[in-house]
Structure 1
Amino acid sequence: MAESTPAKKITVVDVHSHLYPTFYFDLLKSRTVAPYVKDNKFINRASAAGAGKPIIPVLYDVQTKIKFMDLHKIDISILSIGNPWLDFLEPEGAGEVAKEVNDKFNELCAAVPNRLFFFACLPLSGSHDVILAEIKRVSSLSHVRGIVMGCNGMGEGLDDPSLIQVYRTLAENNLPIFLHPNYGLPEEVWGKRAKEYGQILPISMGFPLETTIAMTRLILSGAFQEVPELRFIVSHAGGTLPFLAGRVENAIDHDRLWHSQGKAKADRRTIWDVLKKNVYMDGIVYDKIPLKMAVEAAGSDRVMFGTDHPFFLPVDGGDEIPSMWSNERAVREGFGKESKEYQQIMGENAIKLLDIGGCGCH
């Protein structure tokens, strides 16, 4: 009887993992409007109406992050400061603060060899010259693998024409944009009884829909035609874009204003085309059905594993994070643990895109 081939060891990479280092919280302690820190609680723009998040080690401590990774068999995490990043900074001095934050984050990752990398923050409230200079500077930092950006961009949305030079410079420096929502949708959208349901609606629907709207506007703006090499890693499997792309394309075909403006050109980049050539996604959808839809829309080589740690902690305490296991299970049940797709999503795609091969992981 022929010997069975041993299963290939997969280097598991988590591309969506947050850390708010203590030096980030230090920036917020003198503030009195969101984002700010008060009574050892972090109140950011997304949670300003609530009680805020208690500042506990899972939010800021590197060894707590490593413990989580080891328990859940994650080899490498790509860290990013969570929303609202550095968007709150005053224009004057934004560049210097960004330098300090990114340098400290690089040192933090370097102190844990082969386990941690990060997406840098940009001083988006600063001038174009300051932003472009920081892009070029961070591209040489040893543990930077892209930049993190919210759906508002520099304040007017991802389709703001003033961002084109930023996009071009990021593409030239081989830095993908990890896109993460922040504001969700206006509170009145949810209706008068929504507060009875806690944060379920804003978290499960508001963030993905914010992302969907932002990415659709960006595609409609023609930015991917102006910067063909621009790459996005879009949170939460692209929001609902894989599901709604057909509807958007149909609306484009029938929109009178669109046609009257001469935008119905034969060489227009469709949403389907952008998804397959410019967009990567994390697979944080917690179920095989939407995960398979994301793979069908973009390709199995463009979807990557993520956890969203340290959020969605178990309500009854404990160290194991159900959302981590459900995201892995979605890949396993959707494609099979021995499949090519499983290997790609759980690690190979991130290793290739983010150039973290040969890391010598344990």
Structure 2
Amino acid sequence: MGPRIDGDRKMTVVDCHAHALPPSVQNAFVDWLKTSGATSEGPPGLWSSPAFSDVDLHLADADRHDIETTILTYGSNTVAAMHAAAQRESPKPAAETMIARTNDALRSWAAHTSNRLMPTRWVDPRFPDSAVSEIERAATDGGVAAISMNSAYGDPASGLRFLDDPGFGPTLRAAEAADVVVIVHPSAKFSLNSQPPLTGTANHLLTGGLSMLVETTTCISRLILSGVFDKNPKLRMVFSQLGGVLPMAFGRFDMLRDLVSVADETATKAVSALPSLRDYADFIFADTHSMDVAALKCGIEALGSNHLIFGSDFPVTPSHIGREQALKTLDALPLDPVEQIAVRSSNARKLFGLNPTPPRQEMAS
């Protein structure tokens, strides 16, 4: 059994990876998927749960799984969803207006649920003035001091722009200055460019099962290798899905640094100026979503149990998988009671400044 609090049934989990959208945005997005037949956001059925836009359904599911607080984040479909909602209006609102309105509408869920559901604010760094404004509001409006971003954003001229893009620097500097946590979700627009291209379900499985993990790993690696964390040493970032394959990449990168350094004197000097990925583990928090025991063990060894937080991906991932099954997976990890509670809740409480639960915690036999 997992951690429990003595007495009556109490909430013992903080879920740091769940999704929601205001009804007007969610309905517009679902209608667009139906009428356009688009599959660019994955199988349309992923987005069909009524819980996306229903605060009471969200709260009821949290109750069923002993989740005391849910951090509501924005996902890979956010840009498309806001665009679909904006297209319904005449005149069409500017992107900055759409972002602010969507954030305000979702942020109201916190008051409705006595802060059980804590929405982040969505930030798009392609609109730097909007991004800085949303960060300032996340820090001061009384909700959780956190923003949601994708790991990369599309650009018609240059393709995907990862978060180390110099044009995104003002956004990350503002987040650091405001002491706002940055939660990063893959855009699902990164392609492995394997040929010939797969289609249908096979393509969706390749995107969700591997491309998104590689996208996240690429984002983190670029942030490290480009010096973003050196320039912003107090920046706090949470990455989805265990940070991709990053925990398995630390040793590989160290080996390559050693390998390249013996090539010639010029290479030795160049490599010595590059950081080791593992030296930046303290900058990185990762959620546990979709990972099995073997992967989580690797994450714990690479990042430390104090840098893992529980995430379910509800309602994209149904709760019997993302919550019930995932919590059983945590039970199977070789963690002591304090570490179990840390991954389930206390790491997140510390990171997001959430109120602690009563002190009478112990593991049930």
Q: 1:141 matched to which residue of 2?
A: 141
- Give the counterpart letter for 1:324 in structure 2: R
Deviations 1:218-255 (A, max 9, x none): 21111111111111101001100000121123223417
Q: 2:199, 2:186 → 1: CA distance? A: 20
Q: Which amino acid aligns with 1:322?
A: I
- Cα distance, 1:280–1:257 mapped onto 2, change above 3 Å: farther
Q: Which amino acid in 1 is paired with 2:57?
A: T
Residue 22 (str. 1) matches residue 23 (str. 2):
yes
- Equivalent pairs counted in the alignment come to 338
Question: Which residue in the other structure is 1:272 paired with?
Answer: 278
Which whole-Å deviations, capped at 9, do the CAs of 1:165-220 have from their partners, x for residues lacking one? 22111011111211111225427427556646463332121211111112111211
Cα distance in 1 for residues equivalent to 2:213 and 2:265 = 26
CA contact (8 A) 1:106 1:142 kept: no
CA distance in 2, matches of 1:235, 1:192: 26
SS at match of 2:67: coil
- Pairwise CA distance, 1:41: 8.6
Q: Supply the distance in 2 between the matched residues of 1:181 and 1:80 (Cα, whole angstroms).
A: 12
Determine helix, strand or coil for the equivalent of 2:256. helix
Shift of 1:52: 5.8
Change (3 A) 1:195 1:53: closer
Cα displacement (A) at 1:264: 3.4
CA contact (8 A) 2:121 2:134 kept: no
SS at match of 1:334: coil
- 1:95 is displaced (CA, Å) by 2.3
Q: Which runs of 5+ in 2 are unaligned?
A: 87-91, 156-160, 359-365
- Higher relative CO (CA 8 A, sep ≥ 6), structure 1 or 2? 2
Instruction: Please tell me whether the aligned partners of residues 235 and 284 of structure 1 are also in contact (alpha carbons under 8 angstroms).
Output: yes
**Maintained 8 Å contact 1:45/1:84:** no
Whole-angstrom distance in 1 between the partners of 2:182 and 2:27? 26
Change over 3 Å in CA distance of 1:122–1:54 after alignment to 2: closer
CA shift for structure 1 position 284 = 1.6
**Cross-structure match for 2:32:** 37
Deviation track 1:39-74 (CA, whole Å, cap 9, x = no partner) reads: 489957432xx5565644132211111121111221
Residues 184 and 138 (structure 1), Cα distance of their counterparts in 2 relative to 1, 3 Å cut? same
Superposition map of 1:168-179 within 5 A: 168-179=173-184
Partner of 1:234: 239
* Aligned mates of 1:121, 1:234 — CA distance in 2: 15
Correspondence 1:209 to 2:210: no
Taking structure 1 as reference, are residues 97 and 292 closer, same or farther at Cα in structure 2, changes over 3 Å only?
A: same
Helix, strand or coil at the partner of 1:144: coil
- Where does the alignment leave 5 or more consecutive residues of structure 1 unmatched? 1-5, 30-35, 314-319
Question: By how many angstroms is 1:20 displaced?
Answer: 2.3
Q: Indicate the larger mover: 98-107 or 228-237.
A: 98-107
CA separation in 2, counterparts of 1:99 and 1:257? Answer: 53
Corresponding position of 2:348 = 350
TM-score, structure 1 as length reference: 0.82
- Residue 296 of structure 2 corresponds to which residue in structure 1? 291
Looking at structure 1, the residues matched to 119 and 295 of structure 2 have their Cα atoms a distance apart, in angstroms, of 27
After superposition, give the CA deviation of every residue in 1:23-42 in whole Å (9 maximum; x if it has no partner): 3236658xxxxxx7254899
User: Is the 2:107–2:143 Cα contact (8 Å) retained in structure 1?
Assistant: yes
Mapping for residues 141-160 of structure 1, pairs under 5 Å: 141-153=141-153, 155=155, 156-160=161-165
In the alignment, the residues of structure 2 paired with residue 173 and residue 161 of structure 1 have an alpha-carbon distance, to the nearest angstrom, of 19
Identity among equivalent pairs (%)? 24
1:64 corresponds, among 50, 57, 61, to 57
Q: Deviations over 1:277-311 (max 9, x none)?
A: 11000012432111111111111111011111112
Distance 1:236 1:258 in 2: 39
Instruction: Write the mapping of 1:1-362 to structure 2, written as runs, cut at 5 A.
Output: 8=5, 11-25=12-26, 28=29, 37-39=32-34, 45-47=40-42, 50-51=43-44, 53=46, 55-86=48-79, 93-126=94-127, 128-153=128-153, 155=155, 156-186=161-191, 188-189=193-194, 191=196, 195=200, 197=202, 199-253=204-258, 254=260, 263-265=270-272, 269-275=275-281, 277-313=282-318, 321-336=320-335, 339-358=337-356
The code of the aligned residue for 2:147 comes to I
User: Per the alignment, do residues 40 and 143 of structure 1 end up closer, same or farther by CA in structure 2, a change over 3 Å counting?
Assistant: farther
The answer to which of 246-255 and 164-173 deviates more is: 246-255
C-alpha separation in 2, matches of 1:150 and 1:308: 15
